[in-house]
Amino acid sequence: MSTTEPAVELHGITKRFPGVVANHDIDIEVAAGTVHAIVGENGAGKSTLMKILYGMQRPDEGTIKVAGEEVALHSPSDAIARGIGMVHQHFMLADNLSVLENVVLGAERLHGIGGKARRRIREISDQYGLGVDPDRLVEQLGVGARQRVEILKVLYRGAKILILDEPTAVLVPQEVEELFGNLRDLKREGLTVIFISHKLDEVLSVADTITVIRRGTTVDTVQPGDVTARQLAELMVGSELPVPELRESTVTDVPVLALNGVTVRDATGRAVVDDVSLTIHEGEILGIAGVEGNGQAELVEAIMGMLPLDAGVVRLGDDELTGMATRRRREAGIGFIPEDRHRHGLLLESPLWENRILGHQTRPPNVKGGLIDRQGARRDTERIVRDYDVRTPNIDVTAASLSGGNQQKLIVGREMSGDPKLLIAAHPTRGVDVGAQSAIWDHLRHARAEGLAVLLISADLDELIGMSDTLRVILRGRLVGEADPATITPDQLGSLMTGAGEGSAA
């Protein structure tokens, strides 16, 4: 094998989905033994490109060369056979199988599925310091450990070329550092790493080369030494990035949401939300920082009445909500932007105007005397589409046919329209493009100015710091710290989130 050949060359790759051209005439060369970053905003087509390289999707046009040789990749097996491994944006693990089973799956030929495989996994784990126990069930692992299992999966197959699709999205800065340590080790061992992110600082610190993708095409390939984060951002977006920030404080001393000793236990009796107390006032945005899986989702569901409380009290204004059904809580004035819009926010196969009714089935303009008021709902949907700039030809198309950002804008518009006192916004801008992102932030600011109380949960630390009046940190279900968004940096917040700096910044 000659080392002068690029490890991977992609030429003229085009991939069309119904209604979208995800990739258009993409050209990338990845030199062997380097860390090559690909950046681009949400929906730019990064994942699609990588799936093509991994054989999960076929390009409509273009050629792929691996180590100088042109290849046709029909399935992941083809890619694996050529030494390509991929860690996906979303975990690709079966919870109810052991680590061993997850790792050897599909690669049973190498070392079987028994003792030999177990030894090999231990070996790799030790070699790269991954600290993975082959006999644990995956469902018992935390996010970081899962990430390492994913990497182990790829290494186990002897991959020479590693694709990491947004591996850092769910990691805190410290874990990211560890991961980057691992990547450098891998590079030293002669592996090639293709690394996707839209967090520019990270990219600048770890990559040897950076390719920028915008709207499905390659815009430029640069060296990290030659550009600043700002320049990169402009390459990505084609204009300046919007910045999340609040202007003057609108916080009043009228409490809207008050939690007192809220505790939620899972089926095994473990407290996933542990004695949480907090108050959000009119005009206040309270951000909750935490590594994913530390109880944020359960806290939200407890406030929404989707999970039963084990102890504690939830009040909204003067009303006690504890024990109340979700519907009553919504009627009492809670709006809810769910974390997973496809699962919790939309009826994908239903038209937009029916989605307008969802969550507001008992309130005008959607109902009149127990019956659905179609005209009312339609009229109000038109209003939302107009006011929130939802890009759609009409309100009779199914929600599934909108792009992610437009789906999100529809949800935001809907949740704002019941005149809520409290808005729970879980990752409100996750996976939406920049334009939609700034629009959503604008709407939040506007509503806050009018006295709305907001509970904001986000994995994007910039958003969290920029958009919150108050910041609380959640760790293993407990509120462990409080931070001043005016002064704290993402790094400091990150160490609070892992518990490293517990109490110090309070």
Partner 1 sequence: MIHHLFARSWTRTLVAAFVALVFSVAITSIVLSVSGFNPPSTFQAMFEFGKEPDSIVNTLNKAAGYYLSALAVAVGFRMNLFNIGVDGQYRLAAMLAAAVGGTWALPAVLHQVVIIIVAVLVGGLWAAVPALLKVTRGVSEVISTIMLNFIASGIIAYLLNPGRLAVQLGSNNVGTKTISRSGRMPGIPFPGSDLRLYSFLVIAVLAGIAFWFMINRTRFGFDLRASGVSQSAAVASGVDVRRMVVMAMVMSGAIAGLIGMPQLLGGSYTYSLDFPTGIGLTGIGIALLGRNGPVGIAFASLLWAFLDVSSQILDFNDIPKEIVAITQAAVLLSVVVVYEVVSRVGQRIDQRHVAAQLGEVAA
Partner 2 sequence: MEQEIRTPAPDTEDRERRRSRLLLVGGGIFVALILLRLITGESDITSSGTMSATLALAVPIGMAALGGMWSERSGVINIGLEGMMTFGTWGAAFASYFSGNPWLGLLGGIVAGAVGGLLHAVATVTFGVDHIVSGVAINILAPGVTRYLSDLLFTDEQGGGATQSPPLPNFPTWSVPGVGKPLGSLEKHHWILVSDLAGLVRGVLTNLSPITLLGILLIPVSYYLLWRTAFGLRLRSCGENPVAAESLGVKVYRMKYASVVISGAFAGIGGVFLAMVASSNYQEGQVNGRGYIGLAAMIFGNWRPGMVAGGAGLFGYTDALQLRGGTGAVHAMLLLIGIGLLALAVWRGYRRRVVAAAISAVVAAGVLVWFFLTDALPREIVTYSPHITTLLVLAFAAQRLRMPAADGMRYRKGGGH
Ligand X SMILES: Nc1ncnc2c1ncn2[C@@H]1O[C@H](COP(=O)(O)OP(=O)(O)OP(=O)(O)O)[C@@H](O)[C@H]1O
Q: Give the interface with partner 1 as residue ranges (CB under 8 A).
A: 17-22, 24, 45, 215-217, 304, 306, 325-331, 336, 338, 343-350, 354, 357-362, 367, 370-372, 391-394, 396-398, 400-403
H/E element holding 67? Answer: none
Q: Binding marks (x or -) toward ligand X, 416..445, rule CB under 6 A?
A: --------------xx--------------
CA distance 147 to 239: 33
Within its chain, how far is the Cα of 281 from the centroid?
A: 28
Residue 424 and residue 304 in contact, taking contact as beta carbons nearer than 8 Å: yes
CA distance 378 to 430: 27
Which one of residues 153, 356, 421, 443 is an interface residue with partner 2 (CB under 8 A)? Answer: 153
105 binds, among partner 2, partner 1, Mg ion, none (CB under 5 to 8 A by kind): partner 2
DSSP assignments along 265-313, one per residue: E-TTS-EEEEEEEEEEETT-EEEEE--TTSSHHHHHHHHHTSS--SEEE
Label the pairing between strands 69-71 and 192-197: unpaired
The yes or no reply on residue 75 touching partner 2 (CB under 8 A) is: yes
Residue 83 and residue 155 in contact, taking contact as beta carbons nearer than 8 Å: no
H/E element holding 380? Answer: helix 374-387
Q: Binding marks (x or -) toward ligand X, 79..98, rule CB under 6 A?
A: ----------x---------
Closest CA to 90 of 167, 151, 163: 167
Which one of residues 88, 148, 329, 409 is an interface residue with partner 2 (CB under 8 A)? Answer: 88
What beta strand segments (E) does 91-197 contain? 161-165, 192-197
Which one of residues 404, 451, 466, 499 is an interface residue with ligand X (CB under 6 A)? Answer: 404
What values do phi and psi take at 136, rounded to 5? -75, 150
CA distance 21 to 14: 8
Least distance from partner 1 to the Cβ atom of residue 366, Å: 9
Least distance from ligand X to the Cβ atom of residue 400, Å: 5
The yes or no reply on residue 381 touching Mg ion (CB under 5 A) is: no
The yes or no reply on residue 142 touching partner 2 (CB under 8 A) is: no
Q: Binding marks (x or -) toward Mg ion, 71..110, rule CB under 5 A?
A: ------------------x---------------------
Burial class from Cβ neighbours inside 10 Å (0-12, 13-18, 19+) for residue 438 reads middle
The yes or no reply on residue 86 touching partner 2 (CB under 8 A) is: yes
Residues at the contact surface with ligand X, assessed by CB under 6 A: 17, 20, 22, 40, 42-48, 89, 342, 400, 402-404, 430-431
Chain residues in the site for partner 2 (CB under 8 A): 47, 54, 56-57, 75-77, 80, 86, 88-97, 101-102, 104-109, 112-113, 137, 140, 153
